């Protein structure tokens, strides 16, 4: 095979090795349905910044707009999506709406992602 190089990360021949665990592995795929939606929501840097700020303290929409140097409608748009994904929860106080992380799972997810990012440098 002169002139051709074989890729080490591709099977040299088609042969399934997962037959005995096929059913279990197929069921595992179903368990992660919707997980990509969560990561899609987190993939936006603005939404990640919002979650990071909210991991420190509850903030109103005005605070977030000021800190992120964004318009109120733009911040509200991102918060609406984060609320739909159950990552943040609102609390109304008079005319202001304050947001906080929905629960400790969101904080844990943020910390784990941050640790992974720092360790990859």
- Residue-wise pLDDT for 53-74, tens only, equals 999 999 999 999 999 999 999 9
What is the per-residue pLDDT for 1? Answer: 47
What is the per-residue pLDDT for 31? Answer: 81
Q: Which two tokens stand for residue 35?
A: 């997980």
What is the per-residue pLDDT for 111? Answer: 87
Quote the pTM value.
0.76
Residue 8 has pLDDT above 90, yes or no: no
What domains can be seen in the chain, in order of their start residue? 35-119 (1.10.10.10)
Residues 81-105, mean pLDDT to the nearest whole number: 94
Residue 12 has pLDDT above 50, yes or no: yes
Question: What are the E-state strand segments in the chain?
Answer: 59-60, 88-93, 96-101
Residue 95 has pLDDT above 70, yes or no: yes
What is the per-residue pLDDT for 52? Answer: 92
Distance CA(99)–CA(115), nearest Å, equals 24
Check residue 114 and give left, alpha or beta (phi > 0: left; psi -120 to 50: alpha): alpha
Arithmetic mean of pLDDT over the chain: 88
């Amino acid at each position: 095979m002169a002139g051709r190089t074989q890729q080490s990360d591709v099977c040299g021949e088609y042969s399934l090795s997962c037959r005995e665990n096929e059913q279990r592995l197929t069921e595992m795929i179903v368990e992660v349905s919707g997980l990509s939606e969560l990561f899609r929501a987190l993939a936006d840097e603005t939404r990640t910044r919002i979650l990071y700020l909210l991991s420190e303290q509850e903030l109103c929409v005005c605070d977030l707009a000021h800190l992120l140097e964004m318009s109120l409608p733009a911040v509200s748009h991102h918060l609406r999506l984060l609320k739909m994904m159950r990552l943040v929860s609102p609390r109304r106080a008079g005319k202001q709406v304050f947001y906080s992380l929905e629960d400790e799972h969101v904080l844990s997810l943020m910390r784990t992602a941050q640790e992974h990012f720092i360790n990859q440098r």
